[in-house]
Chains A and B, each alone.
Chain A
Amino acid sequence: MTYDIFITGLIIIAQILAVVVPVLISVAFLVYAERKVLALIQLRRGPNIVGPFGILQSFADALKLITKENIIPSGSNKIVFILAPIITMVLSLAGWAVIPFAPGWVVSDINVGIMYLFAVSSLGVYGIIMAGWASNSQYPFLGALRSAAQMVSYEVSIGFVIITVLLCVGSLNLSKIVLAQQTVWFAIPLLPMFIIFFISALAETNRLPFDLPEDESTLVAGFFTEYSSASFVLFFLGEYASMILMSSMTVILFLGGWLPPFDIYPLNVVPGVIWFTVKVIFILFLFIWVRGTFPRYRYDQLMRLGWKVFLPFSLFWVVATSGFLVYFDMLPN
């Protein structure tokens, strides 16, 4: 009996590692890719010293940061200060438990998968708020307040976008959401929702042009101003891992997950996980492209966009989609 528990425990740990380790490695290469793409946009060369084409730059940076001294400000609330980056990191990895990379390639295929992802991504704000408050310093606190308001606002429209997709699928299970896109990817019939989701994902992950919580031109480094060394690394990893998570969510909801674009010969022999990866990389490239192209939004404009443009439009689209599905009797099951 104890032997069985041991074996099952090992299998669970192996499954977790099989997801977490590739995610962390892809974070390292995402940081490298971001620096390289931004450099190309700005006609620079980017990292090119460490390793061939500078490909090991992220690992060098991580090593440098981890070996530095971890400074905890004397006026800070120490327990919350240390907990904040850990929570950010854990939450950005927790979401990966339900992501289906290919048919059957999922750690936990729960039937409320999309709700779970939504819940985990909405918890991400706690790391930021706790960091800002515990630092006991003005800039991080302002960053935390901005982030709280921003993430709550954009979550509302993300929720409506998810509802629209669910109306077309009839299930909250992520694998079923992917399988429902066998005829056509939802990005085509629900194109406006796809765009809204992508922009809200930018706001949800605090990426440019919505990175007001860390806004270096007004808030030094925003909520992680006081962080150094390993705790900074945790924030950094957490932020990029949640960026990849949001891209995977976009791919699953709108770009057909592991499905090939057309179910024809040379395309459908490619393994599903390759298609999934290619699509996620495409969305991540869009994230970086947007960063290199658009100026930062002003805070009131950000709020206006969330509450006065996205919210009414996505609400209207939910009503329109359900009306359409009922009228043409196309509701799933």
Chain B
Amino acid sequence: MEIDGSKKLLKIFISIENIDRMVLYSLTFYLFSSVAVLSALMVISAKNPVHSVLFLILSFVNASGLFVLLGAEFLAMILVVVYVGAVAVLFLFVVMMLDINFVRLREGFLQYLPFGALLGIVLVIELGILFLTDRSSNIYNNQTPLQPIVNEVENTKMIGQILYTEYFYLFQICGIILLVAMIGSITLTLRDKGGVKRQNIDSQNTVDASTAIEKKKVNIGEGI
């Protein structure tokens, strides 16, 4: 079995030479995208916030499936590791701990509906403009169904080569912005209340019989 090659996640599809690959691609694409859209709908319509987060996770996983279909397997895995494996876990953690009154949560729905709808409409119009004006883009001109672009170089390598050369400064600036945000949130939440007992590992490890135990001569009938 060969090791080289770039689209190993799609090996199953590629190995099937005789059947129409496009059909399988389209089927998988519609499977992933419909589940992603439906679960995204459930995120905002589920009554229980924990269910919302679980549907959000399902949506993330399906989005990563779409990335795999596009041949961007590195992005797909990063999406799962970072968003599903870490961010959503902490998110779920917080939502589970919150004591939410579900009835009161529903009350504000009509109040926020116009604003939410406005945001949605703006997004739809922007996407529409993109599709209608940018005639040179691949999205518009590409008449063939979705299928991965099989490159010689793995896309992990390609991302590395671009990210750390052409976009090096932008990449570093992103890192610094995240660092500032992190330090900010730590300073906002870290409070030294005082009176908290903390274990000092070093001092505890250096304890031996001579410092931990004290010998006393106790006279009979007197005590210490």
A109 near B: Cβ within 8 Å? yes
Given contacts A1-B20, A108-B8, contact A145 B3 (CB under 8 A): no
Is there an interface contact between B201 and A116, defined as CB atoms closer than 8 Å?
no
Give Cα distance in the complex from A169 to B201, angstroms: 37
Given contacts A110-B73, A300-B199, contact A119 B81 (CB under 8 A): yes
Is there an interface contact between A119 and B80, defined as CB atoms closer than 8 Å?
yes
Is there an interface contact between A5 and B80, defined as CB atoms closer than 8 Å?
no
Residues of B near A155 (CB, < 8 A) are 85-86
Residues of B near A152 (CB, < 8 A) are 86, 89-90
1/0 contact trace for B1-22 toward A, CB 8 Å?
A: 1110110110110011011100
Is there an interface contact between A108 and B15, defined as CB atoms closer than 8 Å?
no
Given contacts A4-B16, A106-B1, A109-B8, contact A122 B50 (CB under 8 A): no
Chain A's closest residue to B85 (CB) is A122
Is there an interface contact between A115 and B77, defined as CB atoms closer than 8 Å?
yes
Give Cα distance in the complex from A12 to B54, angstroms: 30
Chain B's closest residue to A301 (CB) is B199
A240 near B: Cβ within 8 Å? no
Given contacts A1-B19, A112-B74, A116-B77, contact A130 B85 (CB under 8 A): no
Number of interface residues of A (CB under 8 A): 44
Give Cα distance in the complex from A80 to B2, angstroms: 41
Is there an interface contact between B89 and A125, defined as CB atoms closer than 8 Å?
yes
**Residues B134-162 near A (CB distance < 8 A):** 154, 156
Chain A contact residues, majority secondary structure: helix
Given contacts A80-B54, A172-B156, A304-B201, contact A108 B77 (CB under 8 A): no
Is there an interface contact between A122 and B1, defined as CB atoms closer than 8 Å?
no
Is there an interface contact between A111 and B85, defined as CB atoms closer than 8 Å?
no
Chain A's closest residue to B2 (CB) is A109
Is there an interface contact between B16 and A145, defined as CB atoms closer than 8 Å?
no
1/0 contact trace for A80-108 toward B, CB 8 Å?
A: 10000000000000000000000110101
8 Å CB contact of B11 from A109, A116, A118, A144 = A109
1/0 contact trace for A120-164 toward B, CB 8 Å?
A: 001101100110010000000100110011011001000100000
**Residues A1-55 near B (CB distance < 8 A):** 1, 4-5, 8, 12
Chain A's closest residue to B64 (CB) is A119
Q: Could you tell me the distance in whole angstroms from the C-beta of A102 to the nearest C-beta in chain B?
A: 11
Is there an interface contact between A111 and B54, defined as CB atoms closer than 8 Å?
no
A176 near B: Cβ within 8 Å? yes
A173 near B: Cβ within 8 Å? yes
Is there an interface contact between A110 and B85, defined as CB atoms closer than 8 Å?
no
Residues of B near A148 (CB, < 8 A) are 89-90, 92-93
Residues of B near A175 (CB, < 8 A) are 3
Chain B's closest residue to A174 (CB) is B3
8 Å CB contact of B5 from A5, A80, A111 = A111
1/0 contact trace for A179-221 toward B, CB 8 Å?
A: 1000000000000000000000000000000000000000000
Residues of A near B89 (CB, < 8 A) are 125-126, 129, 148, 151-152
Q: Could you tell me the distance in whole angstroms from the C-beta of A3 to the nearest C-beta in chain B?
A: 9
B57 near A: Cβ within 8 Å? yes
Is there an interface contact between A111 and B77, defined as CB atoms closer than 8 Å?
no
Give Cα distance in the complex from A119 to B73, angstroms: 12
Is there an interface contact between B74 and A118, defined as CB atoms closer than 8 Å?
no
Is there an interface contact between A109 and B16, defined as CB atoms closer than 8 Å?
no
Residues of A near B11 (CB, < 8 A) are 108-110
Residues of B near A130 (CB, < 8 A) are 54
**Residues B59-115 near A (CB distance < 8 A):** 73-74, 76-78, 80-81, 84-86, 89-90, 92-93, 96-97
Q: Could you tell me the distance in whole angstroms from the C-beta of B36 to the nearest C-beta in chain A?
A: 17
Is there an interface contact between B84 and A123, defined as CB atoms closer than 8 Å?
yes
Give Cα distance in the complex from A173 to B7, angstroms: 12
Q: Could you tell me the distance in whole angstroms from the C-beta of A9 to the nearest C-beta in chain B?
A: 10
8 Å CB contact of B73 from A112, A144, A304 = A112
Known: A118-B81, A123-B85. 13 other contacts (CB 8 A): A4-B16, A8-B19, A80-B50, A104-B1, A109-B8, A110-B73, A111-B73, A115-B77, A119-B77, A126-B57, A148-B90, A172-B74, A173-B3
Residues of A near any B CB (own CB < 8 A): 1, 4-5, 8, 12, 77, 80, 103-104, 106, 108-112, 115-116, 118-119, 122-123, 125-126, 129-130, 133, 141, 144-145, 148-149, 151-152, 155, 159, 171-173, 175-176, 179, 300-301, 304
